Amino acid sequence: MKQPKVSIIVPVYNVEKYLDRCMQSLLGQTLKELEIILVDDGSPDNSPALCDNYESASDNLHWPIIKVIHKINEGLGFARNSGLEI
């Protein structure tokens, strides 16, 4: 399994309008050995589907690794901790 040099945890809640810009910034980094963990904190907008699309698109790439966690809304701190768990 690929070992990333850096893991980035991105809590996601009602950010449908901004998620693409965030992801383009992360994907544009010069360090490619990234693991991006998107934590959908029970977002009621289209953010969960966007997260899944990024994860699916990354399945055929060597880097970066994109993982998605879907959970019930518990707030920013719990979202970050969920990302830390994986």
What DSSP string describes 9-37? EEEESS-HHHHHHHHHHHHT-S---EEEE
Q: Are 62 and 34 in contact (CB under 8 A)?
A: no
- The tens digit of pLDDT for each residue in 17-42 reads 999 999 999 999 999 899 999 999 99
Name the 3-class secondary structure at 38: strand
* Predicted confidence (pLDDT) per residue in 39-78, tens digit: 999 999 999 999 999 999 988 777 889 999 999 998 889 8
Name the pTM for this structure. Answer: 0.91
Whether residue 81 has pLDDT greater than 70:
yes
Q: What are phi and psi of 36, to 5 degrees?
A: -110, 120
